[in-house]
Amino acid sequence: MNYYKSSKKTYETDEEIKELALNYLDKYQPSKKDLRLYLFKKVLSDEQSSANKSIILEQIDKIIHQLDSLGLINDDLYSEIKSKNFLKRGYSLNKIKMTLSQKGIGSELLKKTIENIKKDNEDPDFYSAIKICKRRRIGPYRPDANKEMFFKKDIGVLARAGFSYDTSVEVLNIDKKELKILEKKI
């Protein structure tokens, strides 16, 4: 005996797909690409043929266009909010660009977002690198006896976080007095 109901719900009409999209938008603030991918995965089941995939994609694109025209989904706003959150976390500008481009943000909007970050903050990479050092307890936050021994390792940590070599060296060579002054600006 099978006591379990099938957990797969079929979404066939535009209204059902739109309701699914609205429920997702209620919980999350996705980009258009994220919403499209989510809807495609939810709506498509393994049993459907490839001929139906194109019809499903057309339905999803139509619904996303409707939501965009209503102002419920907006990549400009998404890009602005995400970039500010990433900057607070200590992401470098390179990492912000990469992450937003993976989320489906276009190159023109990316340029505009990065220009806004640079306009609002003076040297955002420098202060983000300090945040990374503080969180990871590297560079100027290490005991003075260990600084030279771990210099290459700390450069590698900052490089993987997307910071340039010059910025990394500048941050790692900050002394304790300067660091206290700079922490107040963060």
Its pTM stands at: 0.81
Assess whether 61 and 48 both reside in one domain: yes
For the chain, what is the radius of gyration of the CA atoms? 23
Assess whether 59 and 38 both reside in one domain: yes
Assess whether 29 and 48 both reside in one domain: yes
Q: Which helix (H) or strand (E) holds 167?
A: helix 165-172
Structural domain boundaries enclosing 165: 124-185
> Which candidate, 179, 156, 178, places its Cα nearest to that of 169?
156
| Residue with more model confidence, 18 or 184 | 18
Assess whether 128 and 170 both reside in one domain: yes
Assess whether 47 and 80 both reside in one domain: no
Amino acid identity, position 118: K
Sign of the alpha-carbon torsion through 111, 116, 122, 125: negative
Assess whether 47 and 97 both reside in one domain: no
DSSP 41-108: HHH--TTS-HHHHHHHHHHHHHHHHHHHHHTS--HHHHHHHHHHHHHHHT--HHHHHHHHHHTT--HH
The answer to the question of residue 63 being in a domain is yes
- CA atoms within 13 A of residue 175's CA, in its CB half-sphere: 1
Return the percentage of the chain with pLDDT > 90, whole number.
67
- Asked if residue 50 has pLDDT above 60, the reply is no
Amino acid identity, position 127: Y
Provide the domain count of the chain.
3
The answer to the question of residue 7 being in a domain is no
| Terminal Cα distance for the chain, rounded | 62
Assess whether 131 and 173 both reside in one domain: yes
104-139 tens-digit pLDDT: 999 999 999 999 999 988 899 999 999 999 999 999
The answer to the question of residue 101 being in a domain is yes
58-109 tens-digit pLDDT: 999 999 999 999 999 999 999 999 999 999 999 999 999 999 999 999 999 9
The answer to the question of residue 1 being in a domain is no
> Which candidate, 86, 111, 108, places its Cα nearest to that of 99?
86
Assess whether 59 and 19 both reside in one domain: yes
